Structure 1
Amino acid sequence: MQRSCRSLSRLLVSQRGFCTSTKGAESEKLVASVLFERLPVVIPKIDPLVYGFQEFSFRWRQQFRRAYPEEFLKKSDARGKGEYQIDFVPAPRITEADKANDKRSLQRALDRRLYLLLYGDAYGTPKGQPAWHFPEKVYKSEETLRKCAESALESVIGDLSHTYFVGNAPMGHIAMPPTENNNKDIQSFKRFFFKSQVIATNKVNIKCKDFVWVTKDELLEYFPEHNEYLTKMIIS
C-alpha cells in the first residue's frame, strides 16, 4: 500500500511539473500595490427610487395598522419631552474641502470612499518621469507578499497603527508587459493589489512629493488604460 502511494505521488509531481528553482522567476518581478481607502463617514443619500418605495410602503402599512385610543397616543407623544431635551443639529454634508475641491484633504466626499494616489517615480515608468500610482514596492526578501505591501504603505505614512489590511491575499493583479515607453532594464512584471483602510483618524501624514484622495470615479481618470479592470476590482 505504501509503495503504491509513493509511486502515485511521484507520478503526480512529474505530471504537474513542480519546481523549487527561482531562476525562471528572476526575470519577472512582483510588485505589491496598496489600495488605501477611507470608508464613508456619513450614510449615503437614499436613491430617489428607494425613497419612493419606502414612502409607498409606509403609507400602505398605515392602512392596516392597529387603531389606538387618543389618550394612549397623547401619552406616547409626551414621552421624552422633559427638561433635559437636547436639540440635535446634524453636521453639513458639504464641507469646506468640498467647496474648495481640496483633494489633499480627507474631509471631502464624506458619503463616498476615498483612495490614496501618489505622484512620483513608479515602477515600470521611465526614470525622471513621475506618474500617479498607488503605494507600491517591489517584492524582494519579505516573508510574504502582504508583508511587502505593508512595508510599501509604511514607507509612505510612517505608521500603520491607524490602518487595517483586509485579508492576507491580494484582491487582484495585473500582468504588465514591457512597452516601448518603459525603461530597457524593466521587463514584464505583475502588480498585485492589497486593500487597506484608514481606521480611527481623519488625518494621515503622507510622505510624498504630491498626493490626492479621490473617489472611484476620479481615480479612473488617472488610469484610463486600466479603466475596465479597476472598475471591476474596486467595489464602491
Structure 2
Amino acid sequence: MRRSLTALVQPLAGARGFSTSSEKVVASVLFERLPVVIPKIDPVVYAFQEFSFRWKQQYRRKYPDEFLDLSKSRGKGDYQIDYVPAPRITEADKTNDRKSLQRALDRRLYLVLYGNFHGAPSGKPVWHFPEKVYDSEETLRKCAESALKSVIGDLSNTYFVGNAPMGHMAIQQTENVPEPYKRFFFKSQVIDTNKFNIGKCEDFVWVTKDELLEFFPEQAEFFKKMIIS
C-alpha cells in the first residue's frame, strides 16, 4: 500500500503546487490606496444624530451661567488655538487628475494600467491590472508580487493582504483569445507614500470603484462583488 501511495504522489512533485493542469494561470494585483479621510456622514445618519442631540438637550441638567462661563475661569497664560481642518477637496480633485493619489481622499483608489497584457485581443493595448503569467515562482502570490514590482519598481511601500487570492475568473477561448486561462486576483495596499513611479505601460490611472467599472464593462458585475469599498 505504501508503494502505491508513493507512486501516486511522485508525478505531482514536479508539477505546480496548486494545479496539475496545463492551462495558463495569470496573477493580477488589485493595488489600492485606502481612504485618507473619514467619509462624509450620510444625510439620513446626520439627521438622526441631530434629532438625537436635540432630544437629549431637553432633558439635560442645567447649570448656572456662572459655572459654564469658562472664559473667566481660564488661568493666566492659557490660550486657545483655532483649528482649521485641511480641505477635503484637493487640487487634483478640481482638475480631475487621475494620475495623482491626492484625490478622492474619502474613497479607495485602484491602479489601472494601459498597455499590452496576457490575453489581450490581437496583442492590442488595453486597460488592465498589474499582472504576470505564472511561470517558475515558488507560489502564486510571489508571482503577483513580481507583477507589481515590475510596474512600480519597489515593494517597500506596499502590503499584500494575505497569501490567498481574493477572487478569480476563468477566461474562455474565443476569436480574440487564442487560448483559455485563469486569472487570480491578489490585493495589495499603498503604505506610507502618495506617489509611485509607474513604468512598463503606456498610461495609468488611479480610480475609484465606480470609475474602475467604466474600464471593464464586461466584467462589471464580477468586480462589483469582488471589490468592497
TM-score interval w.r.t. the shorter chain? 0.7 to 0.9
Aligned AA for 1:233?
M
Cα distance in 2 between the residues matched to 1:202 and 1:105? 8
2:113 corresponding residue in structure 1: 118
Q: TM-score, normalised by structure 1?
A: 0.85
- Residue 22 of structure 1 deviates from its aligned partner by 3.9
Q: Quick check: 1:167 aligned with 2:162?
A: yes
2:193 paired residue number: 201
Letter in 1 for 2:223: L
Of 204, 225, 229, the match for 2:222: 229
Percent identical pairs in the alignment equals 73
Picking from 162, 169, 181, the partner of 2:176 is 181
Gaps of 5+ in 2: none
Letter in 1 for 2:164: A
Residue 183 of structure 2: aligned partner: 191
- How far is 1:146 from its partner? 0.8
Could you list the per-position Cα deviations for residues 56-90 of structure 1 after superposition, in whole angstroms to 9, with x for gaps in the alignment? 11111222222323332123896599554222222
Structure 2 CA distance for partners of 1:132 and 1:75, relative to 1, 3 Å: same
Unpaired runs of 5+ residues, structure 1, are none
Contact 1:146 1:169 in 2 (8 A): yes
Query: Which of 209, 213, 216 is the aligned partner of 2:209?
Result: 216
- How many residue pairs get matched? 223
Alpha-carbon distance in structure 2 between the residues aligned to 1:221 and 1:65: 51
Q: Which digits, 9 at most, give the CA deviation of each residue in 1:147-175, with x for residues without a partner?
A: 11111101000111111111111111111
Shift in alpha-carbon separation, 1:104–1:72, aligned structure 2, 3 A: same
CA distance in 2, matches of 1:87, 1:119: 46
Considering only aligned residues, what root-mean-square deviation do their CA atoms show, in Å? 2.8
State the secondary structure of the residue aligned to 2:84. Answer: coil
> Among 77, 81, 87, which residue is 2:82 paired with?
87
1:63 to 47, 53, 58: 58
Is contact 1:35–1:193 with CA below 8 Å preserved after alignment? yes
1:95–1:152 Cα change, 3 Å: same
CA distance in 2, matches of 1:78, 1:227: 61
Say if 1:78 and 1:31 are closer, same or farther in 2 by CA, change over 3 A: farther
Amino acid aligned to 1:123:
H
In the other structure, the counterpart of 1:29 is 24
Note if 1:136 corresponds to 2:128: no
Q: What SS does the aligned partner of 1:154 have?
A: helix
Residue matched to 1:43? 38
